[in-house]
Amino acid sequence: MKKLLLLAAIALLPCLAMAQTETAADAQTTVKAPAEEYCIISTHKGIFERTICIDVDRGQGPEVDKRLRDNSGREMRFNNLADALNYMAQEGWLYINTIKTSNGDDPDYLMRRLVQANKPDELKGR
C-alpha cells in the first residue's frame, strides 16, 4: 500500500509543479542590457592628396565596401587622423587600442561602442 501511495505521489508531482513562463506583456517591458559593437579603422590617402579617408571594418567580410561615406554616398575625407578619430568619437565610438600590421603599413585602430541589444536592425544597415 505504501508503495502504491508513493508511486501515485511521484506520478502527480509534475502536474503540481508550476514552471515560470514569460507573458508577451512581460517580454515588452523587459529592459535589455546594452551590447558592445567593435570596429577596426584603417586610414589611406592618395599620392597627391593632403586629406585622409578611413575604412571601417565591422567584420562584414571582404566583399563589403568599408569606406566611410556620408549620407549622400560620398567618401568622407578628414584633415588628419585626429580629425577622423574625433568624428568617430562623436558617433559614439571609443578608442581601445592600436593594431600594428606586420607589413609596415599605417597601423589600424580598434574601437568599440555600446549598442542596444534589442535593436539588431541598426547593425544591418551599415
**3-state SS assignment for residue 122:** helix
Confidence of residue 119 (pLDDT cuts 50, 70, 90): low
Q: Where are the alpha helices (DSSP H) in 17-93?
A: 24-29, 81-90
How far apart are the C-alpha atoms of 92 and 4, rounded to whole Å?
A: 67
pLDDT at 125 over 60: no
Can you give the pTM of this predicted structure?
A: 0.61
pLDDT digits (tens, 9 = 90+) for 43-67: 888 788 888 889 998 888 888 888 8
The set of residues, in sequence order, having a beta carbon less than 8 Å from that of 100 and lying 6+ positions away, is: 107
